[in-house]
Structure 1
Amino acid sequence: MGTAVDSVNKEANGSLSDEKKVKVVFVLGGPGSGKGTQCANIVEHFGFTHLSAGDLLRAEIKSGSENGTMIQNMIKEGKIVPSEVTIKLLQRAMQDSGNNKFLIDGFPRNEENRAAFENVTKISPEFVLFFDCPEEEMERRLLNRNQGREDDNIDTIRKRFKVFVESSIPVVEYYESKGKVKKIDAGKPREEVFEVVKSIFSAIDKAD
């Protein structure tokens, strides 16, 4: 019986970097920082394809594929899904999209993800869009939102903040050392935040 990595490998062969120039922007920010809202705006205004690593894993599980069952079992057992599995799902979604501009949301979650992504895809991100938001504001937003998500209680929220700081901030710092981080003050109202986001993406369009 093959591993989860093997079964995704069968479906995602070929390197995207061999084709037309692929642009990848990593989108990072704590829970409640407004990433999802702003990604939707960027897709609408700038023609990027929005890929969420978490959504792709959930979709794979829902599909009932052999690979999805393996992912589900790993999560149930409290194991971390290997970076390569998530990366192959991202690669497949990128190839299927027909686009060459991607927002990758909530990934890389840690340094190991980051190194594996660059190693497997041979793609280095254009930059990291980092939604920097005070914890008190993120907490307020998560407690106020009415999606009825069971993970939106105060203890779980604070655990998620802690994981984000410990795992994802080193990724931000790595790219900051390369001059590749665009930091956004995400504590402001969403319209103001998008004005800043828009100026960043308009500058890329002009550079092309």
Structure 2
Amino acid sequence: MASKNHTTLAVVATLAAASVGYYLYRRSQQKSSKKTVVFVLGGPGAGKGTQCDKIISTYPSFKFFSAGDLLRAERKKEGSKVGEMINQKIANGEFVPASVTVRLLKDAMDSCPPGSKFLIDGFPRNLDNVNVWEEILASECDVKFCLFLDCPEGIMIERILERGKTSGRNDDNIETLRKRFRNFEKDTIPIVQSFEKTGKLRKVKADRAVEKVFEEVKLLFEGV
């Protein structure tokens, strides 16, 4: 009888171990199947686009999407009502509805090969962005961290006004810029702070030469 009980216990233990092993395997598969994402935030003129260019040149497994570029592309589509609405919002220094931005990001990521990693510039900018991302994309994506390029407002203004001489962007002017900075302080800084609270913020001082900034940024992407 003792031998029989011992055999039964051994079988139960083996089945339990197999079940746990399968569960852990499934969890690892689910996690590995998620899209790897890094967000990049910073005020207007903090150097997000410049640093993102250097990141994707150094780490080609990352695909780059700028929320702003995707929105600007939509604005250029002839006869697009969404494009007209985006134009008006940006000209007023206001945020575009989160549902529009997130859907554009989802379409862009879905168009990439499986296993691609994503560097997303200028998102999430406000609580609506966060909420809609959670609703639509959180189950598909593994956000590794948020890179925050921290730069004084005075330097960002100088950079933007200089860029405005050749960019052709209707939001590169001092009036719109002031609205964008106030919106950034009111809506985006709390998002930055929330990433910090969860341990997912990586802050880099961005008021230095491009290469100096990138030396620090590069270290954050090792092994991602």
TM over 0.5: same fold? Answer: yes
Which range moved further: 31-40 or 149-158? 149-158
SS at match of 2:149: strand
- Which of the two has higher C-alpha Rg? 2
Of 138, 149, 158, the match for 1:140? 158
| 2:219 corresponds to | 199
TM-score (norm 1): 0.80
Do residues 36 (structure 1) and 49 (structure 2) align? yes
Alignment check: 8 A CA contact 1:118 1:124 kept: no
Do residues 164 (structure 1) and 184 (structure 2) align? yes
| 2:9 corresponds to | none
Q: Equivalent residues in 2 for 1:53-202 (5 A)? A: 53-64=67-78, 69-75=80-86, 78=89, 81-98=96-113, 99-121=115-137, 122=139, 123-145=141-163, 146-149=165-168, 150-202=170-222
Alignment check: 8 A CA contact 2:150 2:207 kept: yes
2:189 and 2:178 map into 1 onto residues whose CA distance is: 16
- What is the count of residue pairs matched by the alignment? 185
The C-alpha deviation readout for 1:101-135, integer Å capped at 9, x for no partner, is 11111111101101210221123421100000011
SS at match of 1:51: strand
| 1:14 corresponds to | none
**Gapped regions of structure 1 (runs ≥ 5):** 1-16
Equivalent residue letter for 1:54: G
Alignment check: 8 A CA contact 1:26 1:128 kept: yes
SS at match of 1:183: strand
Equivalent residue letter for 2:194: Y
2:134 and 2:158 map into 1 onto residues whose CA distance is: 35
| % identical equivalent positions | 47
Distance 1:163 1:126, change over 3 A: same
Alignment check: 8 A CA contact 2:35 2:142 kept: no
TM-score (norm 2): 0.74
Equivalent residue letter for 2:193: E
**Gapped regions of structure 2 (runs ≥ 5):** 1-29
Distance 1:73 1:142, change over 3 A: closer
| 1:11 corresponds to | none
Distance 1:55 1:44, change over 3 A: same
1:152 and 1:62 map into 2 onto residues whose CA distance is: 17
Distance 1:137 1:25, change over 3 A: same
Distance 1:63 1:75, change over 3 A: closer
1:139 and 1:83 map into 2 onto residues whose CA distance is: 26
